[in-house]
């Protein structure tokens, strides 16, 4: 990945931070984008210690009018963007489906579907007009087996997988667009699950099953970003430990 410039949304923590680390260790320059600039700056400093360039930028990806200026700022800083990782997401808890507010619904759709659509459109057109690139959308197994607690989050992530296929067709052959469908991972988000993983047990288990560690997503992201996957576009790969972890989550959230 040396000489490549990578833009990661939600890159200051969780899976985004793990991918940023992985890309930097592979030699790529990385733009860290999230809502909180101080968190982006802290992550950027850590990556720069690896000998690569890092660019922190604050952006709320659910806000349409912030997307293009953010992308242009990253492009101007590095002179290009070779890889976009649409990773930012949110899946807040709510007491029941009937108590979901319009504001919460719109916020979840905005961050998980609307924002990634706009960013992929802006990035895809710019990449296609230049030297090409790779767009990686981070979906969820909630798009395949939703629970009552992940209903519209899962719907948004299912939509993101559909967008990947449409964008792959729109920007072929210069820009490849693929999806990573992630299962449960032991990030800070997991601490709010009804039955959170036990960090004291090996492998971070949930209901007796291992859940993913953040670094478990890195090799798949690197594969989709690199020339090794030059004949792969419009694909969706599950990174979920075979679905066992999701079954455990379903059992705990469904009672």
Q: What is the CA radius of gyration of the chain?
A: 17
Within 8 A by CB and 6+ apart from 149, the residues are: 93, 94, 253
C-alpha distances (whole Å) from 194 to each of 149, 197, 249, 253 are 11, 10, 9, 6
User: In 3D, which of 144, 136, 137 has the Cα closest to residue 112?
Assistant: 137
Residues tagged active-site? 153
Decide: 62 and 111 in contact? Cβ < 8 Å: yes
**Rounded CA gap, 179 and 243, in Å?**
17
**Rounded CA gap, 116 and 122, in Å?**
10
Decide: 225 and 4 in contact? Cβ < 8 Å: yes
Within 8 A by CB and 6+ apart from 72, the residues are: none
């Amino acid at each position: 990945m040396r000489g490549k410039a990578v833009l990661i949304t939600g890159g200051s923590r969780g899976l985004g931070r793990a991918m940023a680390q992985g890309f930097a260790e592979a030699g790529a320059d990385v733009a860290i984008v999230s809502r909180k600039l101080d968190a982006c700056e802290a992550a950027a400093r850590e990556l720069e210690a690896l000998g690569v360039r890092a660019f922190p930028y604050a952006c709320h990806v659910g806000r349409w009018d912030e997307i293009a200026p953010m992308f242009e700022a990253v492009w101007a800083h590095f002179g290009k963007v070779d890889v976009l990782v649409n990773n930012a997401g949110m899946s807040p808890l709510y007491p029941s489906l009937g108590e979901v507010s319009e504001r919460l619904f719109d916020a979840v759709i905005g961050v998980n579907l609307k924002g990634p659509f706009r960013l992929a459109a802006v990035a895809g057109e710019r990449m296609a007009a230049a030297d090409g690139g790779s767009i990686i959308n981070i979906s969820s197994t909630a798009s395949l087996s939703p629970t009552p607690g992940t209903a519209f989050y899962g719907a948004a992530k299912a939509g993101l997988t559909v967008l990947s296929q449409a964008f792959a067709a729109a920007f072929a052959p210069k820009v490849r667009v693929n999806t990573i469908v992630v299962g449960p991972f032991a990030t800070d988000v997991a601490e709010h699950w009804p039955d959170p993983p036990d960090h004291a047990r090996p492998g971070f288990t949930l209901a007796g099953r291992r859940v993913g560690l953040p670094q478990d997503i890195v090799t798949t992201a690197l594969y989709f970003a690199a020339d090794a996957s030059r004949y792969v576009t419009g694909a969706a790969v599950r990174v979920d430990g075979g679905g066992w972890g999701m079954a455990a989550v379903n059992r705990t959230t469904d009672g």
